[in-house]
Structure 1
Amino acid sequence: MSARTIYKIVTESEWRAAEAKGRFEGSAVDLRDGFIHFSTAAQVRETAAKHFAGAADLLLVAVDSAPLDLRWEVSRGGDLFPHLYGVLDLGAVKRVDPLPLCASGEHRFPAMD
């Protein structure tokens, strides 16, 4: 399994802390689980709805998967999700976009690769 661009949903404060450190070590859930959770473009909207419903201070981080040593593991609905067992080097980040809430309460996503 592979996807050139993968996505991570983070709070703005988590991401600003990562920028200050020069690396992303993971959110509280990632640290608990022992790996950084990512989603593909096809998976990330459901990830937002399931795990971030109603959250307004989110960012969508687009990451180049090529330099990462990912494990594609079965998760929600039997889908394979990309997991990083380690630290995300910010050099792999392609862009960071706001992930605002629409009036409907769903997140409004930017164009994705």
Structure 2
Amino acid sequence: MLIYKIFRAEELAQFEADGETAGAPVDLADGYVHFSTAAQARETAAKHFAGEDGLSLLACETAAMGDALKWETSRGGALFPHLYRRLRRDDVLWTRPLPLVDGTHQFPQEMT
């Protein structure tokens, strides 16, 4: 199953330079890397990244994350994937831009 992480440009650049990351500031504060499923990603973008341009969407395969990936109750009682280790470059299957058009993030075809 694919899960998704949204990064701002500077977060993605640091991840690419280092080859791994503990995540964005919210991830560091919470102690795990936040992910969303395909069904949750649009709401995550609207809620946490409203009006932000220059974002990227990373797709990761859950099977490769093993026991470090936990499904925990979050927004609206839904289960969200949380990674309890650093995200590594080899966890990422692909990265796509997440452009902002007329106030709405445009998700890639792979997610439709």
Q: State the TM-score, normalized to the length of structure 2.
A: 0.93
1:56 equivalent to 2:53? Answer yes
Q: Which residue of 2 aligns with 1:111?
A: 109
Asked whether the equivalents of residues 15 and 24 of structure 1 are also in contact (C-alpha less than 8 Å), the reply is no
Structure 1 residue 100: Cα displacement: 0.5
Q: 1:111, 1:92 → 2: CA distance?
A: 21
Counterpart contact for 1:41–1:112, Cα < 8 Å? no
CA contact (8 A) 1:57 1:100 kept: yes
| Cα distance in 1 between the residues matched to 2:41 and 2:9 | 17
Report deviation, 1:112.
Answer: 3.0
Segments of 4+ moved more than 2 angstroms = none
Count of aligned pairs:
109
The within-5 A match list for 1:94-109 is: 94-103=93-102, 105-109=103-107
Q: Which amino acid aligns with 2:77?
A: G
The 5 Å alignment of 1:2-21 reads: 4-21=1-18
Q: TM-score, normalised by structure 1?
A: 0.93
Which stretches in structure 2 are left out of the alignment for 5+ residues? none
1:31 aligned residue (20, 28, 33): 28
SS where residue 55 of structure 1 aligns?
A: coil
User: Aligned letter for 2:110?
Assistant: M
CA distance in structure 2 between the partners assigned to 1:111 and 1:12 by the alignment = 21
User: Cα RMSD between the aligned structures?
Assistant: 0.9
